[in-house]
């Protein structure tokens, strides 16, 4: 049975007002709700704490993970959720009092409330920014491959969202912007896919239409044919594993040799090496510029800010 709008609104307001945003407090919400299901409401807040009142009894990453798995969420919240900060017992007390108030108003559907907190954990997992693990001992290609693998992993865990394609498109857009500051590069949200829109490509620069894709298909190649018919040069940037597939599709379409097909990561890396003049110190700065420009594009064109990248 769906949660009532009134209860959902009350929970959302509580979460915002009391800053239940990070794993620690989300864990408090989940574990205290489970205790309320077991003990019943109203619940005595002090019963949730250890004998010295310094910790929340039963709060651990293992317990939280076990509850989350009951709702189909397999990702582990980490052991950090069990580390009690000075504010954790207070958070548990405040939340217990909130549950008691819902109980007095006959709104405390604990099964629905527990599911709601589990869903907030899924939101948390999905909204973390991607990490560019910058390590000078690794190749630039390995770093970007790792980034795209993170996006693919999230994509598999969040059906319906093409995270990898979005990251690829906006990395290319950011690279074009920092490489050619004298030219205005027009960016679009990833959901406005060029293969199913009236646009000639994801990026159109003079007589070249750039198509970014992690899954080249017949529709895209037909779009490339239209590019050629209109006097526009198509350039497909895809993942290394999909280059051969794109070439086969181009051959089937009869345009192999007339459409450029490249590994997108190599395209990025080659340009970044050139922009940094192959100097280590300049390379660091260039990658920082790329990430900053990428994040600006996400801010300006994407509603999902979890697409952002942080450097580590």
| 169-202 pLDDT tens trace | 999 999 999 999 999 999 998 875 554 456 789 9
**Rounded Cα–Cα distance for residues 302 and 9 (Å):** 26
* Same-domain pairing of 117 and 134: no
Domain span including residue 259: 130-311
* Same-domain pairing of 183 and 135: yes
* Same-domain pairing of 202 and 62: no
pLDDT of residue 156: 82
Q: How many domains in the chain? A: 2
| 55-73 pLDDT tens trace | 898 898 899 999 999 999 9
User: Residue 201 phi/psi, 5° resolution?
Assistant: -175, 175
* Same-domain pairing of 174 and 204: yes
Residue 261 has pLDDT above 60, yes or no: yes
Tokens 């405040």 label which residue?
Answer: 94
Contact 253, 222 (CB under 8 A): yes
Residue 50 has pLDDT above 70, yes or no: yes
pLDDT of residue 195: 46
* Same-domain pairing of 190 and 237: yes
Q: Which residues contact 217 (CB under 8 A, 6 or more apart)?
A: 195, 249
| 109-155 pLDDT tens trace | 999 999 999 999 988 887 789 999 888 899 999 999 999 999 998 88
Q: Sign of the C-alpha dihedral, residues 37, 40, 41, 44?
A: negative
| 88-97 pLDDT tens trace | 899 999 999 9
pLDDT of residue 126: 78
pLDDT above 70 coverage of the chain, percent: 94
Q: Which of 127, 152, 187 is the last residue of a domain?
A: 127
Residue 297 has pLDDT above 70, yes or no: yes
The mean pLDDT value for 282-303 works out to 94
Residue 158 — very low, low, confident or very high, per pLDDT cuts 50/70/90?
low
**Rounded Cα–Cα distance for residues 67 and 172 (Å):** 40
Q: Which of 127, 157, 183 is the last residue of a domain?
A: 127
* Same-domain pairing of 63 and 95: yes
What's the chain's average pLDDT?
Answer: 91
Number of residues in the chain: 312
The mean pLDDT value for 275-292 works out to 94
R_g of the chain, CA atoms, integer Å: 25
């Amino acid at each position: 049975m769906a949660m009532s709008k009134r209860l959902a609104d009350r929970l959302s307001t509580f979460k915002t007002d009391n800053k239940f945003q990070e794993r620690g407090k989300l864990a408090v919400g989940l574990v205290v709700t489970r205790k309320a299901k077991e003990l019943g409401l109203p619940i005595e807040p002090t019963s949730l704490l250890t004998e010295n009142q310094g910790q929340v009894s039963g709060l651990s990453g293992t317990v939280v993970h076990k509850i989350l798995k009951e709702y189909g969420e397999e990702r582990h919240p980490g052991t950090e959720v069990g580390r009690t900060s000075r504010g954790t017992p207070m958070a548990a007390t405040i939340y217990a009092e909130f549950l008691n108030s819902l109980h007095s108003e006959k709104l405390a559907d604990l099964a629905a409330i527990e599911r709601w907190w589990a869903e907030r954990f899924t939101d948390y997992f999905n909204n973390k920014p991607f990490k560019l693990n910058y390590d000078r001992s690794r190749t630039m290609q390995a770093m970007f491959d790792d980034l795209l693998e993170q996006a693919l992993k999230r994509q598999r865990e969040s059906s319906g969202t093409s995270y990898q394609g979005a990251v690829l498109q906006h990395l290319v857009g950011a690279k074009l912007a920092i490489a050619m500051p004298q030219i205005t590069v027009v960016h679009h949200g990833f959901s406005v896919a060029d293969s199913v829109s009236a646009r000639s490509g994801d990026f159109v620069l003079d007589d070249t239409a750039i198509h970014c894709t992690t899954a080249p298909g017949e529709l895209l190649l037909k779009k490339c044919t239209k590019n050629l018919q209109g006097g526009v040069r198509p350039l497909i940037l895809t993942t290394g594993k999909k280059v051969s597939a794109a070439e086969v599709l181009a051959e089937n379409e009869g345009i192999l040799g007339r459409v450029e097909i490249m590994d997108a990561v190599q395209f990025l890396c080659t340009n970044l090496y050139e922009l940094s003049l192959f100097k280590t110190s300049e390379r660091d700065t260039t990658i920082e510029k790329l990430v900053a420009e990428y994040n600006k594009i996400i801010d300006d064109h994407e509603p999902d800010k979890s697409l952002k990248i942080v450097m580590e």
